[in-house]
Structure 1
Amino acid sequence: MAGPTTTELLWGVPQPPRRGPKPSLTLERIVAEAIALADTEGPANLAMARLAERLGCAKMALYRYVPGKSELTALMLDAALGPAPEPVTLDATAAEPWRAYLTSWTETAFERYRAHPWALELTPGVRPMGPNEMSWLETALTALAGTALTGPERLDSVVLLLGHVRSLVQQVGTGIDDDNLEAELAREIGPILAAHADRYPHTVAAFTEQSGRGPGEPDAARNNALHFGVDRILDGLSAYIAAAR
C-alpha cells in the first residue's frame, strides 16, 4: 500500500490504525529531530540514515511514518516556520491599518528564517504548503484586504516582503549576529578601503557617514537593513494604494 502523500502528512489526513504495540516513534518527534539535525549539522547531513541514528532506530523504521526525504523536508519547513503572528483587529480609523501588522509579520519571518536558514532552500518552486505556511499567507492577505490592491497585487506584495527577508538571511549567513553584520563587514574591508580610499570614495563615505568613524570601526547605529527595507517597501505600497484609490 502506498504511503501518505506530502499533502496528507502536512494536513493530518487520518491514516488507518496499525495493529500491534504502540509505536515508539511519532511523526512529531521525527520532524523535531530532523530540524535539530539540520540546525546543528547543516542540511547536507540530513539523511534518513543519520536521522535514524540520532533517533536510535533502524532506518527502515522511519519509512513507516514518512515515505522519503522530500516529504520529511516539507514537514520540517512547516514546523520550523511555525504559525504566523496572531492576526490583529485592524484599526479602521488609522490611515494605514495594515502597516503595523505587515511590519511585525516581516520581522517575525526574518527571525524564523534566521533560526533555520536551511529552510530557504525548501521554499522555491511549486509545492504543497502546510497549515503554518498557509497561515502566513492568509494573515498577510487579510491585513491588505481592505486596501485598493487587487488580489494578484496583494499576493505580489507578500512575495516582495518575503524576498526582502530571504535576501537578508542569505547575506547574513551563519555564525554572524545580524545585529553586527555591517560592523563585521566594515571591519573586514576596512584595511582595503583605507589603502584604496581614492578609488572607492563613496564606499568609504557610506561606511563613515553615520558617526564619523573609520570603515573598520563598529557603530551601533548601523545594521538597519531589515527595518529600512520593510519601511521603504511599505512606503511604496502606501503610495501605490493611494494612487489606486
Structure 2
Amino acid sequence: MADEQWGPAVRLLWGPPPGPPARGPRRGLTLEGIAGAGVAIADAEGLGGVSMQRVAAELAVTKMALYRYVPGKAELVALMAEAAMPDPAAGLDAALERAGSGWRERLGAWARELLAAFRAHPWLLRATVGARAVGPREVGWLERALAALEGCGLSGAESMDAVVLVAGHVRGIAEQERAVSAGGAAGAAVAGGAAGGAAGGGPDVELGAVLGEVMRLRGADFPALGAALASVARDGGQDQALDFGLERILDGIGLLVAARGAGG
C-alpha cells in the first residue's frame, strides 16, 4: 500500500531523472525546472495557487506534457518541497560548524536554520506535514539533527523524539509568523498599526497590542495577565518565543542526557 501511495514520488525524488517522453515533441522539461516553476507560484500565492495546469502554463507546455514527467499534484508538491528546502551540505553544515561540537549548540543552530527555511517559503509548513514521500535534502536535515545527539547516551527513539520536539517548536513559531503575515493590513489595523511578520513587530507584538486593548477595557478582571504585560513593557522580552522555548526544550533534553551519564 505504501509503495502504491508514495512509490511514484519516491522514485522521482530518489531515482535517476526521467528521460524525454517516448512520444510527442521534446520540450526540454526537467524535474528541476518543473519544481522551480511550482516553487515560484507557491512563493507568490501560497500552496493553494499551485496546480498542474498552472505549472504547465508557466512552463509554456500542455498539462498532458507535464504529466509525462510528473504523475500528479502530490508528486509535484513533493518535488517542490525538496527543491525549496536548503541543501544541508551548504548553509546548514556551515552553521553547525560555527556552532561548535556541543550537541546543544548544534541542535540550536539546526533549529534556527530550519526556521529560516520556513520563513523563506512559508508554504513549506503545509507541504511538509503528514505521512508522505521525503527527498534527500529533508532526510539530510534529519540526519544532521540526529548526528548532533550522537554520543549523548540517548536511544534511537529518544533522539528521534527530541528532534521531533525541536522541529515542532520551530514549526509553531513559523506558523504564528505566517498567520501574522497573512493578516496583512487587517492584522496591522487590529494591532494599532504594528507591522506583521518577522520583518515587523512579530507575533508577540501583535498579540500584545490586542491584549493591551483588552486590558484597557477589562483589565481588572485579569490581574495576572496585567502584571505580566506590565513586566514585558517595563523589562522587554517580547518576540523571544523561539529562543525561550528552544532553550527550555534543550534544558529538558540536557536533563535526560545527564541521567544517561553522557556529556555534550
TM over 0.5: yes
1:24–1:71 Cα change, 3 Å:
same
Percent pairwise identity: 40
Distance in 1 (alpha carbons) for counterparts of 2:243 and 2:157: 25
**Which blocks of at least 5 consecutive residues in structure 1 are unaligned?**
214-218
- TM-fit CA distance, 1:233: 0.6
User: Superposed, which structure 2 residues align to 1:30-109 within 5 Å?
Assistant: 30-84=34-88, 85-86=92-93, 88=97, 97-109=102-114
- TM-fit CA distance, 1:61: 1.6
User: Superposed, which structure 2 residues align to 1:160-199 within 5 Å?
Assistant: 160-174=165-179, 175=181, 176-178=196-198, 180-181=201-202, 182-199=204-221
**TM-score normalized with structure 2 length:** 0.80
Whose helix fraction is larger, Structure 1's or Structure 2's? 2
Counterpart residue identity of residue 97, structure 2: V
Counterpart residue identity of residue 113, structure 1: F
Distance in 2 (alpha carbons) for counterparts of 1:15 and 1:61: 13
- TM-fit CA distance, 1:125: 2.5
State the SS of the aligned residue for 2:134: coil
Counterpart residue identity of residue 184, structure 1: E
1:101/1:143 contact within 8 Å kept: yes
Distance in 2 (alpha carbons) for counterparts of 1:187 and 1:194: 11
Distance in 2 (alpha carbons) for counterparts of 1:195 and 1:71: 51
1:88–1:146 Cα change, 3 Å:
farther
- TM-fit CA distance, 1:75: 0.9
Residue 157 of structure 2 is aligned to residue 152 of structure 1: yes
- Specify the alignment match of 1:216 in structure 2: none
- TM-fit CA distance, 1:90: 8.5
State the SS of the aligned residue for 1:222: coil
Distance in 2 (alpha carbons) for counterparts of 1:26 and 1:16: 9
**TM-score normalized with structure 1 length:** 0.86
**Which blocks of at least 5 consecutive residues in structure 2 are unaligned?**
1-6, 182-195
